[in-house]
Amino acid sequence: MIDVSNMKAPGWQRVVADLVTPVHDDRAFLVRLLGVLGQVAGAKQAVLFLVPPSRDDDPAGVTPTPMLTWPFAASGADAQGRPTVRVEVEAVKDEAIEQAAEVKAAARSAASSRVAKIYSQETGDQLYDASQSRGYVLAIPVPGTLPGPDAIPTQACAVITVLTESRSRQAMQTTLAIAEIVAGFAHGHFAQQSLRRTQAASAALDLAGRLLASINSTTGFKGCTLQLVNDMVRALGVDRVAFGWVAGARSTSARGTGDEKRSTRCVALSDTENLDRRMTMVQSIEAAMDECLDQEQPVLYPPPPEGQPGSDVLLSQAVTHAHRELGSRDARLRIASFPLRLTDRAGQGVVGVLLVETSNPAGLDLAQMELLQATLDLIAPVLQVRFSDDRMLGLRAWDTLVKAAAWAVGPRHTAWKLGGIAVLIATLAAVFVHTPYRVGAPFELVAEHKRVISAPYDGVIATLSPGVEAGRRIEKDAVLFELDTTDRRLSLLEASSQVVQYDKQADESLRKGELAEAEQFRLRAEQVRARQSLLTHEISRSRVTSPLSGMIVAGEMRDRVGSSVKLGDRLLEIADLNDLALVAKVSDRDIALIKPGQTGEMAPKSGPSLSVPITVDRIVPLAQPEEGDNAFEVYCSFPQGAPDWFRPGMEGEVKFNGPRKSLGWIASRRVLDTLRIWLWW
């Protein structure tokens, strides 16, 4: 028991020194407070309880949870009973507590009234007669809150119960007063904690503000991260800072819930403009970043000793294999990795990692690490926005769609839900939506009335009428060109003289009675007359005229005047453009769906946005090979007339309106027909 009867006593000075010593951890302070109360009260046992908030209608229904008991283990305490190693505050069993029922009742009552009280072990009433009690329980509520197990709210009240032997009423009242004074030091501790958190938040906000102002002056995500690491080096006075971004960075609600294994890609290194990820140093840095990413917590190497007062449990127990390998080149090197945490609707996730290296032994202490982590938590959303703005438009649009859809289907597995809904809608549409099945085929425009002008006989083109060229319109019976008839006219005169000569010779032979010779001369005269008729006919055909009104669609004769031609040579082609027909090449797989009188639409290549109605007139029953497939010629007409600018030879695509079928049948028809052919027996 510590003598605290005199304010100047060494025991009281030691108590005050223990309680006013700054402690960064609330749990460590409560452990120290528990030990001091147990010592100043001369208790048999002291217990730290965590009491959840009670309901107004049932305050007795609250169950206090014992978190720690005093005296501590002999191996972890000094001669005065103070802890020499870190004592974990965690739930203890009721078997370790003396008079557990009475102690819990006292803790419950003190927590509900927030007033320190003394209770008798026999009756449970407050002390007023010490002669009838075996001992007493002091219940002292502690200001502030203590983070407890997950099942206990963070607003729980901490209560310390002290179990003492039987004493006089005056002695117990004195002990209660001293305990209240000692417990009052908790006000100073929590005030210091609040001040420290405010100062840390202010420092983090100041550093984050300066970093944000710096990175916002850059363009692009790469420039932003390079500026960040360079500013970090100057602000912290460290050797090197590296920044890595998580590949496919996204938010996850809990550790390990990602759909794929995540990895970190080093994107910026202080004082390094061109970063080569094939370097061994960069690969070691990325391995250390991945180690921090997997644990989703800060990692410090060398780690602080575990169990020391004021040490951090998470940093002491963190895995540091990759950090140790990275720091093996320099024994003085201290390495710390910090995750960039981002919180969204799906929860908290890590989008990047910042790695800091320093050879200063005093660098990277616990306070500085808390400052850096708070700063990174503030700038992480800005970096996420800068990274998103640097991506392709398609990825950004997809993210926007997923975020918008998360409002309707929930934030978790949004893409899978959207895919499932899309598949369901597509299936229902394929089964229940019916539309006309349209048979497609290539086509070519041809003139329904077309004439080919050829040479009437072997000869020479003498003259060409004006305007006889491709693209010119010609009226019916208009003269196109004339052939040279000079040779034929001379031959005709020669034939005429031969006819007169053979007639005279025949008459002379008759007078002489030479009947056989007369017959020969007569036959020769007839032969020459026939040749004379042929020449006359050819001379009459030397002037070639147009057989119909139309346009010259083929043939160029301006360079052929004076040249010889042979019988049957194609010289010109004239077509009536007012009467065009469409010839579609329908595959034999679809010809069964085409009938005369069937309607459809066509679109030429020269006007793909145009849709002109057509009607099937006739189907040529003989298939012809067309690009490795059998095709039937289907002649179609234009019931509403063809546009004026249509010309023979134009090509395009025609769609015939078939029977109404479901979308599923339309999409699977070709595949099913092919399978039926393959599997047919």
Confidence label for 620 from pLDDT (cuts 50, 70 and 90): very high
| Encoded tokens for 205 | 């906000």
Q: Are residues 113 and 157 in the same domain?
A: yes
| Least reliable range by pLDDT among 304-318, 376-390, 550-564 | 304-318
Q: Are residues 229 and 186 in the same domain?
A: no
Residue in the structure block whose two tokens are 């007369």: 518
pLDDT at 1 over 70: no
Report the pLDDT averaged over residues 11-24: 72
Amino acid at 216: N
Comparing 338 with 33, which gets the higher pLDDT? 338
pLDDT at 248 over 80: no
Q: Is residue 40 classed as helix, strand or coil in its secondary structure?
A: helix
Predicted confidence at residue 252, as pLDDT, reads: 37
pLDDT at 94 over 50: yes
Confidence label for 355 from pLDDT (cuts 50, 70 and 90): very high
Comparing 344 with 372, which gets the higher pLDDT? 372
Which residues on neighbouring strands pair with residue 435, listed in sequence order?
661
pLDDT at 394 over 60: yes
Q: Are residues 255 and 188 in the same domain?
A: no
Nearest CA to 431 among 659, 660, 663?
Answer: 663
- Residue spans of alpha helices (H) in 541-662: none
Number of domains within the chain: 3
Predicted confidence at residue 651, as pLDDT, reads: 93
Within a domain: residue 539?
no
pLDDT at 148 over 70: no
Give the integer Cα–Cα distance in Å for 247 and 266: 10
Q: Are residues 158 and 237 in the same domain?
A: no
Angle, CA of 9, 11 and 17, to the nearest 5°:
105
pLDDT at 212 over 50: yes
Q: Write the CB contacts of 488 (distance below 8 Å, at least 6 apart in sequence).
A: 535, 538, 539, 542
Within a domain: residue 426?
no
Q: Write down which residue in 196, 230, 249 finishes a domain.
A: 196
| Least reliable range by pLDDT among 25-34, 448-457, 663-672 | 25-34
Q: Are residues 24 and 163 in the same domain?
A: yes
Q: Are residues 26 and 172 in the same domain?
A: yes
Nearest CA to 350 among 312, 323, 377, 388?
Answer: 377
Q: Are residues 237 and 191 in the same domain?
A: no
Give the integer Cα–Cα distance in Å for 489 and 423: 86
How far is the first Cα of the chain from the last one, in angstroms, to the nearest whole number? Answer: 103
Within a domain: residue 187?
yes
Q: Are residues 282 and 314 in the same domain?
A: yes
Within a domain: residue 538?
no
Within a domain: residue 314?
yes
Amino acid at 600: G
Report the pLDDT averaged over residues 346-351: 72
Report the pLDDT averaged over residues 14-41: 77
| Strands ordered across the beta sheet of 450-454 | 450-454, 570-575, 550-554, 473-474
Within a domain: residue 574?
no
Residue in the structure block whose two tokens are 């998360």: 406
Q: Are residues 270 and 138 in the same domain?
A: no
Comparing 69 with 16, which gets the higher pLDDT? 69
Helix (H) or strand (E) holding 205: helix 169-215
Confidence label for 10 from pLDDT (cuts 50, 70 and 90): low
Q: Are residues 192 and 100 in the same domain?
A: yes
Comparing 100 with 653, which gets the higher pLDDT? 653
Report the pLDDT averaged over residues 632-660: 90
Within a domain: residue 527?
no
Confidence label for 242 from pLDDT (cuts 50, 70 and 90): very high
**DSSP states along 596-615:** TT-EEEEEETT-TT--EEEE
pLDDT at 45 over 80: yes
Q: Write down which residue in 390, 421, 450 finishes a domain.
A: 390
* pLDDT per residue as tens digits for the range 549-582: 888 888 888 888 888 888 888 888 888 888 889 9
Give the integer Cα–Cα distance in Å for 35 and 409: 54
Q: Write down which residue in 364, 390, 416 finishes a domain.
A: 390
Angle, CA of 188, 191 and 193, to the nearest 5°:
110
Predicted confidence at residue 509, as pLDDT, reads: 85
Tell me whether the omega of the peptide bond preceding residue 71 falls within 30 degrees of 0, making it cis. Answer: yes
Predicted confidence at residue 583, as pLDDT, reads: 94
Report the pLDDT averaged over residues 59-82: 67
Domain that holds residue 626: 579-678
| Encoded tokens for 513 | 């009675």
| Least reliable range by pLDDT among 50-64, 223-237, 651-665 | 50-64
| Encoded tokens for 626 | 């067309």
Q: Are residues 234 and 183 in the same domain?
A: no
Of the ranges 264-268, 473-477, 511-515, the best mean pLDDT one: 264-268
Q: Write the CB contacts of 241 (distance below 8 Å, at least 6 apart in sequence).
A: 229, 230, 232, 233, 269, 270, 354, 355, 356, 357
Task: Give 3-state DSSP helix, strand, coil % of the chain, rounded to 5.
Answer: 40, 25, 35
Predicted confidence at residue 538, as pLDDT, reads: 84
Average pLDDT of the chain, as a whole number: 81
Within a domain: residue 286?
yes
- Answer yes or no: pTM beyond 0.85: no
Residue in the structure block whose two tokens are 């409002």: 407
| Encoded tokens for 647 | 């010309």
CA distances from 163 to 48, 71, 130, 132, 447 (A): 12, 12, 15, 16, 116
Q: Are residues 43 and 71 in the same domain?
A: yes
* pLDDT per residue as tens digits for the range 100-139: 888 888 888 888 888 888 887 665 555 444 445 578 888 8
**What CATH number does the domain containing 303 carry?**
3.30.450.40
Return the C-alpha torsion angle 317, 321, 323, 326, nearest 10.
160
pLDDT at 205 over 70: yes
572 and 590 Cβ atoms separated by less than 8 Å: no
Predicted confidence at residue 130, as pLDDT, reads: 45
Exposed/middle/buried for residue 670 (C-beta within 10 Å: 0-12, 13-18, 19+): exposed
Predicted confidence at residue 3, as pLDDT, reads: 55
Other beta carbons within 10 angstroms of residue 616's beta carbon come to: 21
